[in-house]
Amino acid sequence: MEAIWFALVTCSLGAYVVLDGFDLGVGLLSPFVAKTDAEKRQLIRCVGPVWDGNEVWLLATGGTLFLAFPKLLGAAFSGFYLPLMLLLWLLLFRALSIELRHQVHDAMWTTLWDALFFLASTLIVVLLGAALGNVVRGVHLDGAGQFFAPLWTTFRPVPPIGALDWFTIIIAAEAIAVIALHGALWLEWRTDGEVARRAGMLARRLVWAAALGAALATLLAFSLQPRLALGLQGRPWIAVCALPIFAVLSIPSLRKRGRHRAAFFASSLHILGLLSAAALSLYPWMLPGMTPGTGWTAQTARASDASLTAGLAWWLPAVCLVLFCQRYVYSQLPQKFRIADDAPH
C-alpha cells in the first residue's frame, strides 16, 4: 500500500512542477521577454487564468504526505523550517504580484509588482531545486530521525550541512534552466509578437543549458548518493522510465518545424522523466540520511493501513475532479494571447 501512495505523491509532485513550472518560468523570464507595459500585461494574461489552479497540485502533494507519510512530513517541516517559511512568503508575493498589478494604473505601482513577480518566481525555483538536491543528497539525521538544516553552513555536502551547498546550488541552477525553458516554450506557443520571438530566442539557448545541466546533475548525484546506483541495479527497468529525459533533445527539431505545442509537451516529458527517475532510483527511501542505513523510507514513514486504505476513497475522486476542472479551464484558453486583444482598463 505504501508503494501506491509513494507513486501518488510522485505523480502529484510531477503535476505541480509541470503545470506551475511554466507559470514560474514565465515570471523568471519576464524582464527578458517583456519590455513594454502591453507586453507585461500579455505575460500576466497568459498565466492569469491558470496559475492558482496549477498551485492546487502543491497543496495536493502536501495533503498526500500528511495523510500517507505523516512522520516524514513532520521531520521535513521541522528540519527545513526556514526554507519552507521563505517558500510560503514567496508563493504569497508571487500571487499578489499577479492579482494586484492591474489594480492601480501608476508606473511605480506596476514596476513594484513586476519586480516581485520576477524575484518571487526565481527564488521559488531556487528553493524547490535546492529541496530536491537535499532529498537526493540526504540530510544529517539524529537517532530519533529528526534534523535541522540552516540555510547554509560551509557550502560543502558534508556535516554540518545546510539547505544550500555546492551540490544543491548546482541542482537549483539546473532547475532554473529547466523551468526557464519550460516557460519560454509556453510563451512561444501561447503568445505572439515580440514576446513570442524573444521567448523563442531564449528557448534556443536554454535547451542546451537544460540538457547539459541534467547530465552534470546526474553524474554528481550518483557520486554523492550511493543509494541511486543501488536502486538502479536492483530495478534496471527504471532506465526505461527515464527515457522521457531525452525528450529535451527533440525540442530544437520541433521548434524548427514550428511545432511549438509539441515542444512544450516534450519539455513536460523531460521534467517528468527527471523526477520519476530520481524517485524510482531512491525508492523506498523518501528522505535518506547521510549515514548509511539511516533515513525515512516509505515503510517507516507510512500511516496505518486503515488510513491508507480509507484515503484512496477520497483521493482518487478528488484528483479526477481536479483534472476535469483543469481540463475545462485549459480548453477555454485562446490559442494565442495577443497584444491586439488586450486593452488597459
The per-residue pLDDT for 154 is 86
In angstroms, the first-to-last Cα distance of the chain is: 53
Distances (CA, A) of 14 to 40, 53, 102, 230, 266: 28, 15, 31, 23, 14
> Residue 345's pLDDT band (boundaries 50, 70, 90)?
very low
The three grid cell numbers given for residue 179, joined into one nine-digit string: 523551468
Into how many domains does the chain fold? 1
Three-class SS state of 242: coil
| Among 14, 38, 12, CA closest to 278 | 14
Distance CA 235, CA 13 (A): 22
> Residue 343's pLDDT band (boundaries 50, 70, 90)?
low
Buried b / exposed e over 255-276, threshold 16 CB at 10 Å, is beeebbebbbbbbbbbbbbbbb
| Among 294, 322, 286, CA closest to 71 | 286
> Residue 72's pLDDT band (boundaries 50, 70, 90)?
very high
The per-residue pLDDT for 260 is 96
Distance CA 329, CA 231 (A): 39
Model pTM?
A: 0.94
* Residue range 219-235: mean pLDDT, rounded: 88
Q: Give per-residue pLDDT as tens, 280-321.
A: 999 999 999 888 888 899 999 999 999 999 999 989 999 999
* Res 79 pLDDT > 60: yes
Other Cβ atoms less than 10 A from the Cβ of 125: the count is: 26
Distance CA 207, CA 210 (A): 5
* Res 178 pLDDT > 80: yes
Q: Higher confidence at residue 215 or residue 240?
A: 215
Q: Give per-residue pLDDT as tens, 119-144.
A: 999 999 999 999 999 999 989 888 88
> Residue 108's pLDDT band (boundaries 50, 70, 90)?
very high
Distances (CA, A) of 195 to 40, 44, 203, 272: 9, 12, 12, 27
The per-residue pLDDT for 293 is 80
Give kind and range of the element (H or E) at residue 286.
strand 285-288
DSSP string, 163-182: SB-HHHHHHHHHHHHHHHHH
* Residue range 201-226: mean pLDDT, rounded: 93
pLDDT above 90 as % of the chain:
71
The domain containing residue 92 runs over which residues? 2-341
